[in-house]
Amino acid sequence: MKKRLRSLTLSLLLIPLVLSACGKPDTYTGIDPAPTKDEISAITGGIDTGVSIPSSVLYDSDGVKVTADSISFDAEDDPDTMTIALTVTGAKLSDLSLTGLAVNGYMIEAAGLDEDTSAITVTCGELSLYGISTITDLTLQLSVSGTEGDIVVISTGEDADTTLPDTYLAAIQTSSLTRSWGDQLMGLETGMDVKALNVTAESAAILTDRWSDRVSLVEVQNRDTVSHTVTMAGFGVNGVKITDASYTPQTMVLFPDCRAVFEVDPSSVVSDTAFSSLGISGDSIAAFSFDCTVDEDKTTNGTLSFSAALSDAGMTTTDVIGVKALSENGLTLSAVSDPTPTGTLYFFAKNYTGKDLTFGPGITCSVGGKNISCTGSMELADEENGLFAVTTKDFNISDYILNNAADATEADFAAMDFVMPVTDDTGNTEDLTFTIDYNSDENAVRIR
More confident residue, 8 or 274: 274
Question: How far, in Å, CA of 43 to CA of 297, rounded?
Answer: 42
Query: What's the mean per-residue pLDDT of the chain?
Result: 75
Amino acid at position 431, single letter: D
Sorting pLDDT into bands at 50, 70 and 90, what band is 296? low
| pLDDT tens for each residue of 310-361 | 754 444 444 555 566 677 788 888 887 655 555 677 888 999 999 999 998 9
Residue 359's pLDDT is 92
Q: Looking at residue 43, what is its pLDDT?
A: 45
- pLDDT score of 33: 41
- pLDDT over 70, % of the chain: 70
pLDDT, tens digit (0-9, with 9 covering 90-100), for 350-408? 999 999 999 989 888 887 667 777 888 899 999 998 988 888 776 655 554 443 444 44
> Does the pLDDT at position 281 exceed 50?
yes
Determine the pLDDT at residue 48.
82
Domains along the sequence of the chain with CATH:
39-155 (2.60.40), 183-309 (2.60.40), 320-447 (2.60.40.1230)
> Residue 178: what pLDDT?
59
Task: Give just the sign of the alpha carbon dihedral 175, 17, 378, 323.
Answer: negative
The mean pLDDT of 82-93, rounded to a whole number, is 90
Q: What is the pLDDT of residue 320?
A: 58
Give the percent of the chain with pLDDT over 90: 25
Q: Which of 38-42, 170-174, 229-233 has maximum average pLDDT?
A: 229-233
pLDDT of residue 325: 67
Q: At 80, is the pLDDT very low, low, confident or very high (cuts 50, 70, 90)?
A: confident
